[in-house]
Structure 1
Amino acid sequence: MGARTRDDGRRRARVLGAERLPPPRGPVEGRALLVSDASTATATTATSEPARALAAVPRAGWHVATVAATRRETANAARLELEVDGWPGNAAGQHLDLRLTAPDGYTATRSYSIASSGSGTRVVLAVDRLPDGEVSPFLVNEVRVGDRLEVHGPLGAFFVWRPVDHGALRSAGDGAGGAASALRARPVQLIAGGSGIVPLFAMATAHAEARDLTPFRMLYSVRTPDDLFFAEELMALAATSDDFRLDLVYTRRTPDGWPNPAGRVTREALEGAVLPATERPIVYVCGSTGFVERVASWLIELGHDARDIRTERFGGI
């Protein structure tokens, strides 16, 4: 954006407090994601609510975003609430590009999933700091309320979920001779690894806000209890909704009294913690590349149709 005036009293975001950013290095910032596996999931008109979302996502564009609030999400992550001029709204599961500009004009752009459901006026991000990152350390440690950033979005038309019009499904079933079961909303299985929870949290929030009756189940794998994103919100959703179930896996340290030992998700654990293939769920998987590839492979081995598995991934194992 170049040098901005301060006539409105707001701070212009400085990139890492330096005159110039270093060249990008290592994996792109931990996020979920630039790469969507759209080829693995084609949906039928009668059964898949994500298919309807493809034609309903808002158009993307560049916008000026003002940081309205910040809070620490974990020891290494921060939640940012942005007021975005001209933001068209977003579907749960979409992402945006965020661009920082140094005083000499050098820019760095990264993609981040949107944590907010799209129903409110603010765009919420949850950013995990990478030790060798170019952008995430600034967003987690240095950004302040009043800073202005550039964002491009919303982006992504496939890895999205929208509330289901159950009344329309019932009407369609009645019109088809009472075959409502063939048109009922299919259950949704969310599977997250680490910061891959971000777009799936947006879906779970949209589901709760709409009081949607679609059965939702979430499997969330995280290192320790201290590394949980959206801990309070997820526990509240699980406690108050009959249509949302949360299963947690801790890979390094469990809470006191936890019934299962710490360890990575295995094929056997996955089978016991997700909706069975016989229920034909739509499955959303987000996490590191290795996590997503392992989980998707196991799901297929367990009988899930590859066309019903939607994945987003970021770098790492």
Structure 2
Amino acid sequence: MHPRLLAAGPHVGTGAWRTATVVEVVHPSPRAVILRLRVPDRIDHLPGQHYAVRLTAEDGYVAQRSYSVASAPADPLLELWVERLVDGEVSGFLAEVVEPGDELVIRGPIGGWFVWDGMTPAVAVGGGSGAVPLLAMLRHAQAVGATDRLRLAVAARTLDDLPFPDEFAAAGAVVALSRTDYEGRPAGHLTAAEVAPLLRPDATGFVCGSTPFAEFATQLLVDGGLPAAALRVERFGPSG
């Protein structure tokens, strides 16, 4: 049974838990939900940061999960892409129950390592939901006129497993699906040949995805000549 969301308490100070209002709910696929939130006195995030979402049940039980920000800092709303996990108590609630007008208790932005401000060259590779922070980077690059500094590759099993595939493809990112063909590309894992044109010696490398994918993508970048010291890697996995 999903925790029932309760009304949040009074507004709290910067950096603490606060109440966000759900403005829009979009279901791009059965496996995901996009939430657009209005956050009072929001602190501008850096692309790559995340927010924690906390749910409290009537009996006091608390469940908390973290989700990467998909929106650019310039967006007046905060956008989160949430993967709908099997038996996920938080993701299930967010995907099945939350509606516009509801309130969510959130905290953020969080994280200072896996961030890109758009000022320096970057190559970023994301797998599955690990593509979400890369989308924030892409949208920020577009907002500040820095698309020439950012090169992207995203990968997943199928199109339903990949956040915002059309937006990535329209921006010229490499899109690799391992189980289905896509836009003329045969099904298969991301390859060194696809990554090689993205690399430049002065770039910072960003890798985000599950542990197996992060290790695989990191090796692709290192084998392509990107120094290991220039890499920033973020791994994730399901929460219990």
Instruction: Indicate the TM-score class for this superposition, using the shorter chain for normalisation.
Output: 0.7 to 0.9
Aligned counterparts of 2:197 and 2:233: Cα–Cα separation in 1: 17
2:195/2:220 contact within 8 Å kept? no
**Structure 2: gaps of 5 or more residues:** 6-13
User: TM-score normalised to the size of structure 2?
Assistant: 0.88
What is the percent sequence identity of the aligned residues? 37
Q: Which residue of structure 1 lines up, in the alignment, with residue 50 of structure 2?
A: 95
1: CA distance, partners of 2:16 / 2:148: 32
Tell me if 1:230 matches 2:164: yes
Q: Is the 8 A contact 1:73 1:126 kept in 2?
A: no
Alpha carbons of structure 1 residues 274 and 102: separation in structure 2 relative to 1, 3 Å: farther
AA matched with 1:16? H
Residue 137 (structure 2) pairs with residue 203 (structure 1):
yes
CA shift in 2, pair 1:278/1:108, >3 Å = closer
Cα distance change of structure 1 residues 195 and 77 upon mapping to structure 2, 3 Å threshold: same
Match of 2:177 among 233, 250, 266: 250
Higher relative contact order, structure no. (Cα contacts within 8 Å, ≥ 6 residues apart): 1
8 Å Cα contact 1:81/1:125 also seen in 2: yes
1:205-257 deviation digits (Å, cap 9, x = unpaired): 00001112543211111222343321333233x2xxxxxx31111111113x6
Structure 1 position 16 matched with structure 2 position 2: yes
Please state if 1:315 is matched with 2:237: yes
CA positional deviation for 1:104? 1.4
- Partners in 2 of 1:92 and 1:142 — Cα distance? 28
CA contact (8 A) 1:217 1:274 kept: no
Mark the structure with the bigger radius of gyration. Answer: 1
Pick closer, same or farther for the CA change 1:291–1:104 going to 2, 3 Å.
same
Structure 1 segments unaligned to the other structure (5+ residues): 1-14, 20-58, 165-184, 239-244
Q: Which amino acid aligns with 2:47?
A: A
Question: Is 2:200 aligned against 1:283?
Answer: no
Q: Partner amino acid for 1:264? A: H
Aligned to 1:192: 126
Find the counterpart in structure 2 of residue 175 from structure 1.
Answer: none
Structure 2 counterparts to residues 37-116 of structure 1, below 5 A: 60-116=15-71
Looking at structure 1, the residues matched to 78 and 161 of structure 2 have their Cα atoms a distance apart, in angstroms, of 22
Distance 2:111 2:4 in 1: 32
Measured after TM superposition, the shift of residue 157 of structure 1 is 0.9
Equivalent-residue separation in structure 1 for 2:122 and 2:22 (angstroms): 33
Q: Is the 8 A contact 1:74 1:228 kept in 2?
A: no
Runs of 4+ in 1 over 4 A off after TM superposition: 275-278
Output the aligned Cα RMSD.
Answer: 2.1
Q: State the secondary structure of the residue aligned to 2:17.
A: strand
Q: Secondary structure at the match of 1:229?
A: coil
Residue matched to 1:141:
96
Calculate the TM-score normalised by the size of structure 1.
Answer: 0.67
2:118–2:149 contact (8 Å) kept in structure 1: no
Judge conservation of contact 1:63–1:86 (CA < 8 Å) in 2.
no
Q: CA separation in 2, counterparts of 1:146 and 1:213?
A: 35
Residue 132 and residue 78 in structure 1: after superposition, are their counterparts in 2 closer, same or farther (change >3 A)? same
Equivalent of residue 194 in structure 2, options 255, 259, 272: 272
Q: How far off its partner does 1:17 sit? A: 5.6
Look up the equivalent residue of 1:291 and give its one-letter code: F
CA-to-aligned-CA distance 1:101-127 (integer Å, 9 cap, x gap): 001111101111011111122110000
* Residue of structure 2 equivalent to 1:118: 73
Q: 1:120 to 1:277 in 2, by over 3 A?
A: closer
Higher strand share: 2
Counterparts of 2:218 and 2:198, CA distance in 1: 14
Verify the 8 A CA contact 1:95 1:155 in the aligned structure 2.
yes
C-alpha distance 296-109 of structure 1, shift in aligned 2 (>3 A) = same
